[in-house]
């Protein structure tokens, strides 16, 4: 009897704790978020932005528990029409074949004050594991995730042919993001 | 030969700067025209990067030359020249100086507004003059081209006049800028 009572107790406790574990998932508010990149051209920093992106972040009491985000590489905006056109072309993002860049986390570790998402980045048909460190804060009643990461563009085939020359076009791309989640904090 | 200008001839420093700037300006005309005609690619990035570094060198040398004119006055134009000739000479020289400053300056503004900053011959980062702005970049590009076209026109006049002094008038005006000639006895 004690044994059976124990099982019941475990089930009751598990059921009672369900709401606390339910995921609080929110969408990224594009109007209040940004994704920018920076790499070296001829030894000087060159910057640009992506204008269309979105996704969902799930939260628990302590932080983020799941991240699923995407961006449209055709929305690249480096400020120069000629360069934007090249970035959309087959040597860079090949946006007609690969219209979406996506990241999804497998797990998220907390290493206060930061968190690190471990997951996969899919870009230009190439899926690679990527750790994304970020911080989560609450501002103006909204949850904001932000961080910076460094990507090796050549691993994803971003800049093929003559553009793989990293002396004139740096191989490391610094990506900065800030995602404001919709809904109250 | 003297460093300083005399009332008969330019000194070594003024002559050296004149001819160095002359060589660089012609190199710049060639480089700029060549690079601007290349398709977007590493070669264009390479040559335009050199063009930008050289252009800033020209700007610095021209400013140095103007400064030296203040320290050591250039030889006066001889009485043998008519009023109209002197006016033409003085005006052309002033416009040449103005354009030798304006053309690289507009190029620098163009590079800044385009977000394509300059790392001077890979030695140091040159500050941007203005923030990145596509519309302004187009404006500065036109200005740069306009100033260069005017400069090229004036150079035709300048060189034509110098050759006239040397071979038609034979008044030794051009010889004042030649390092290997001696002042008349």
Calculate how close chain A gets to B140, using CA atoms only, in Å.
Answer: 14
A115-132 pLDDT, tens digit each: 999 999 999 999 999 999
Low-confidence ranges of chain B (pLDDT < 50): 185
What are A96's strand-pairing partners?
none
Closest B-chain CA to A163: B42
Q: What CA–CA distance (Å, rounded) separates A181 from B62?
A: 55
Calculate how close chain A gets to B119, using CA atoms only, in Å.
Answer: 6
Report the candidate in B60, B55, B73, B53 with the shortest Cα–Cα distance to residue B6: B73
Q: What CA–CA distance (Å, rounded) separates B2 from B20?
A: 18
Indicate if the pLDDT at residue A10 is higher than 60: no
| B73 dihedral zone (left: phi>0; alpha: psi -120 to 50; beta) | beta
Model pLDDT, residue B80: 87
Report the candidate in A74, A80, A104 with the shortest Cα–Cα distance to residue A92: A74
Indicate if the pLDDT at residue A41 is higher than 70: yes
- CATH homologous superfamily of A23-180 equals Lipid/polyisoprenoid-binding, YceI-like (2.40.128.110)
Distances (CA, A) of A180 to A59, A113, A160, B86, B135: 13, 18, 34, 69, 30
Indicate if the pLDDT at residue A13 is higher than 50: no
Least reliable range by pLDDT among A147-156, A157-166, B80-89, B150-159: B80-89
- Supply the mean pLDDT for chain A: 90
Indicate if the pLDDT at residue A23 is higher than 80: no
Calculate how close chain B gets to A59, using CA atoms only, in Å.
Answer: 37
A169 touching B (Cβ < 8 Å): yes
Phi, psi of A22 (to 5 degrees): -60, 140
Residues of B in contact with A80 (CB under 8 A): 114-116, 134, 137
Q: What CA–CA distance (Å, rounded) separates A83 from A100?
A: 19
B89 touching A (Cβ < 8 Å): no
Among the partner-chain residues A45, A86, A163, the one whose CB lies closest to the CB of B117 is A45
Are B134 and A79 an interchain contact pair (Cβ–Cβ within 8 Å)? yes
Model pLDDT, residue A5: 53
Question: From start to end of chain B, where are the E strands?
Answer: 119-120, 124-125
Least reliable range by pLDDT among A11-15, A24-28, A171-175, B71-75: A11-15
Q: What CA–CA distance (Å, rounded) separates B158 from A74?
A: 50
Are B116 and A41 an interchain contact pair (Cβ–Cβ within 8 Å)? yes
Omega before residue B56 within 30° of 0, cis: no
If you average pLDDT over residues A65-89, what whole number do you get?
96
Q: What CA–CA distance (Å, rounded) separates B17 from B49?
A: 23
Helices (H), B6-41: 12-37
Q: Fill in the DSSP letter of residue A181.
A: B
Q: What CA–CA distance (Å, rounded) separates B147 from B142?
A: 9
Q: What CA–CA distance (Å, rounded) separates B156 from B100?
A: 14
Indicate if the pLDDT at residue A2 is higher than 90: no
A89-108 pLDDT, tens digit each: 999 999 999 999 999 999 99
Report the run of H or E that residue B68 belongs to, with start and end.
helix B42-71
What does CATH list as the number for B12-177? 1.20.950
If you average pLDDT over residues A78-99, what whole number do you get?
96
Q: What CA–CA distance (Å, rounded) separates A182 from A32?
A: 9
Are B46 and A168 an interchain contact pair (Cβ–Cβ within 8 Å)? yes
Indicate if the pLDDT at residue A14 is higher than 70: no
Q: Rounded to the nearest 10 degrees, how much is the dihedral formed by the CA atoms of A91, A97, A101, A104? A: -130
- Tokens 């003024």 label which residue? B14
Helices (H), A74-161: 81-88
* Candidates A79, A88, A159, A163, partner chain B, best to mutate (most B CBs within 10 A): A79
Residues 33-52 of B with CB under 8 A from A: 40-43, 45-46, 49
Q: Fill in the DSSP letter of residue A154.
A: G
Q: Collapsing DSSP states into helix, strand and coil, what is residue B184? A: coil
All structural domains of chain B with their residue ranges: 12-177
């Amino acid at each position: 009897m004690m044994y059976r009572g124990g099982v019941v107790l475990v089930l009751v406790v598990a059921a009672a704790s369900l709401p606390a574990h339910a995921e609080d998932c929110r969408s990224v508010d594009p109007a209040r978020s940004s994704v920018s990149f920076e790499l070296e051209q001829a030894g000087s920093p060159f910057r640009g932005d992506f204008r269309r992106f979105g996704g969902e972040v799930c939260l628990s009491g302590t932080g983020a528990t799941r991240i699923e985000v995407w961006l449209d590489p055709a929305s690249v905006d480096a400020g120069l029409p000629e360069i934007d056109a090249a970035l959309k072309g087959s040597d860079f993002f090949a946006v007609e074949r690969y219209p979406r860049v996506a990241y999804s986390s497998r797990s998220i570790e907390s290493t206060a004050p930061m968190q690190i998402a471990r997951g996969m980045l899919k870009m230009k048909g190439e899926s690679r594991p990527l750790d994304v460190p970020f911080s989560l804060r609450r501002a103006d009643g909204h949850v904001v995730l932000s961080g910076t990461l460094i990507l090796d563009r050549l691993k994803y085939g971003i800049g093929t042919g003559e553009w793989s020359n990293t002396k004139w076009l740096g191989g490391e791309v610094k990506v900065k993001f800030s995602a404001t989640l919709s809904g109250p904090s | 030969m003297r460093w300083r200008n005399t009332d008969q001839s330019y000194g070594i420093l003024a002559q050296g700067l004149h001819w160095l700037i002359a060589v660089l300006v012609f190199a710049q005309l060639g480089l700029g025209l060549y690079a601007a005609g290349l398709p977007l690619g590493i070669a264009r990035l390479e040559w335009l990067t050199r063009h930008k570094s050289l252009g800033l060198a020209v700007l610095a040398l021209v400013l140095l030359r103007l400064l030296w004119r203040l320290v050591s006055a250039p030889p006066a134009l001889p009485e043998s020249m008519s009023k109209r000739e002197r006016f033409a000479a003085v005006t052309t020289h002033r416009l040449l100086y103005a354009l030798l400053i304006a053309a690289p300056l507009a190029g620098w503004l163009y590079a800044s507004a385009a977000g394509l900053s300059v790392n001077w011959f890979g030695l140091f980062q040159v500050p941007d003059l203005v923030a990145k702005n596509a519309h302004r970049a187009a404006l500065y590009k036109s200005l740069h081209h306009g100033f260069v076209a005017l400069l090229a026109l004036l150079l035709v006049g300048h060189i034509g006049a110098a050759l006239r002094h040397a071979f038609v008038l034979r008044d030794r005006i051009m010889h004042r800028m030649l390092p290997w000639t001696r002042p008349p006895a």
